[in-house]
Structure 1
Amino acid sequence: MTYHTDGRVCSDLDPFSEEFRADPYRHYAQLRALGPIVWLERHDIWVVHHYAQVKEVLTDWKRFSNAGGGGLTNYFKEPNWRKPSIILEVDPPEHERTRRVLMRLFTPGALQKMRTVFLQEASTLMDGVLENREIEAISQLVQPFPMKVFPDAVGMPPLDRDMMLIYGGMVFGAFGPRTAWYDKLLERADEVSAWVDAKCERSALTDDGLGAAIYAAADRGEVTHAEAKLLVRSFLSAGVDTTIDSIGLCLRALAEHPEQWKILQEDPSLARAAFEEATRYDSSSQSLFRTTTEAFEFEGQKLDRHQKVLVLIGSAGRDPAVWEEPDRFDIRRRITHQIGYGTGIHGCVAQMMARLEGEVFFRTLAEKFGRLEMTQDATLRLTPGLRGLLTLPMAIGPR
């Protein structure tokens, strides 16, 4: 730690480095010890990492804008490779109009319909997987479930999984600095963008899915038809990778804590609580950005206009000022102030659907699986973007 002459508390930690991403929680504790807001010298950005400041930044959209982009690229100063999302990367009043359309999709009736379908799909998937005794859980168990139930709910035809994950890498990889890995990925940007564009056309969707409901809102004049297509795209970009990674991290946490797995087996109704605790304990969405709209003082530091502020959601989930024994994974923990899905007007609009997917997955798992053990260490994805697992070798067996 060093101090600038202007009084800024500084750190040379690099939150996008492989070392940091491999074990972020150790580094989060170091940052929390430095104070409520720190200047990261390597990227010339501010970072907040305590629960209180994370929540304040995320709820104060007037000073901490989402229109500057959810990643390191500053949309106020430079363009991105794709058009900004009209739900994720705008502020009110534009944001209110588009978010209203999406929020109406998740009625109790719609969620109950999804639950019925999700339970059927989870049961079929897990019965098939249980024919084996050793699996690579990410590719054989974790990925197939969201990749099936999500596009079906939206009304999309079966998706090309490889293309879908490439698109997700492009979207979430943009959260960090440009790297050779990301530049290589962007070589396919035109191809992937055209693929995504075609999948979001009204003609490509069924008549009874969430995508059709978005286009119906356009028919009523709530958004334009061009905006409806962009909202379907936002669903596609935000609704798959996050859930895959969240389920994978929760599965690893249960395998690493066999006493918690036993508790879940004894009471599968705790599936929702297990997924909620995993989202606090080891979230796929560890961080995002906001951009200042003006110069002002925040927690004793002077912030300038159009400066990037890194918001460490993962650190807030381990803040000892809020959580008792925050480094302990406990599926019976009562979580009444979850921040793993963000908060404020830009909190995850589809979080009810993601929570339902997680609940159904782990309830079905607890009802059908007996043995659940890691046979080798899991492999983390260390490239910028979401936190998730590349591999999770497991030994499994039925109850």
Structure 2
Amino acid sequence: MKNALLEDLKWRGLLYQQTDEKGLEEHLNKEKISLYCGVDPTADSMHIGHIVPLLTLRRFQQHGHRPILLVGGATGMIGDPSGRLEERQLQTTEQIDKNVAGIKKQMEQIFDFDTENGAQMVNNNDWIGSLSIIEFLRDYGKLLGVNYMLAKDNVASRLEDGISFTEFSYMLIQGIDFNHLYNNYGCRVQIGGSDQWGNITTGLEVIRKTHEEETKAFGITIPLVTKADGTKFGKSAGGAVWLDAAKTSPYEFYQFWINTADADVIKYMKIFTFMEREEIEALEVTVQDEPHLRKAQQVLAQEMTRLIHGQEALDQAIRISKALFSGDLKALAVDEMKDAFKDVPSFEMVREAKNIIDFIVEAGVSPSKRQAREDVTNGAISLNGERVTDTAYEVSTADRLEDAFTIVRRGKKNYKMIKFI
């Protein structure tokens, strides 16, 4: 009998590799299971590329299964060679602890913890950290042959340029994780990105070799998310799109999804949102018939911003977007202006009163005094959302927000931030 959850994952394009597709389907049809996904704390925030396996784990929770969220306090100190051409920079224990705290907070935004099948959060430093080198070599080092490990893609791809024993041992340590969760939490499935296949299958090998009975453990990988043109997903003009509001503000986060190409928007809805199939297919029709309305992009941006940052942050992101579109900057608070304009062109100017014409020419808003007078007279210049039409107007302290900056708009969409020094 087909399993509804697995069929939904296939429709969403979330199944790439499975170790035993039929066995897992039979297992899911018989009982609710515990399954896990791990995240190494290489930074104090995850970015949107990290969350696809986690969102997939959340889908299992919605179907009654229990998610185990592993934060790699130990493996984060080692470094996963998967998908990398060079060794990771080792982090201090203090930095790892800080990163773990940041990632835990973000996981709490995605998962339910207080339900009957509430998520469990674990840190592999709790069992790896106390393992001595002798215990590691005696109890686990004997389980895998070097040839077996060399054949794994994440190791084989690094042999030419070199790989340290530290990173070479990573897959075995992750195998210990799966075995520990299998023994102590009844965990039967590990989910990971497509680059984790070697680590996941190593975990299954450790389980197989440390148990006499026929094991019932499985591995699933999620395909790498790409854009329709084949380029890497998850980057904006400012770099990675982070879940931490201090690194990528809710407004920037919202705008990232709003700017999704028509060719990608339905694919991303399937992968990232928890919307029902009928809702997504209805929006797919609007992409084909009314692409100029960008309804699907708006829904995608709303769903994702609400999920990661909450309703209040979504409301703020929409308010900023509407104010920028209409040019009504007076509707924004000073902090919202900072957020909205932090990536626009800027110019530094000494704090002193200046005639509006001199002001916009010096700042490079208008190319010449003649053009500047024409722009002001025609009502094309606004300071912080207030239109200036008097060529004798003096730009003074009153026009500086927090005595630090002024937002100048020329025409409908040309903005510049003047920073005062």
TM-score category (smaller protein): under 0.3
The structure number with the bigger radius of gyration is 2
Q: TM-score, normalised to structure 2's length?
A: 0.24
Q: TM-score, normalised to structure 1's length?
A: 0.25
| Structure with bigger RCO (C-alpha 8 Å, 6+ apart) | 1
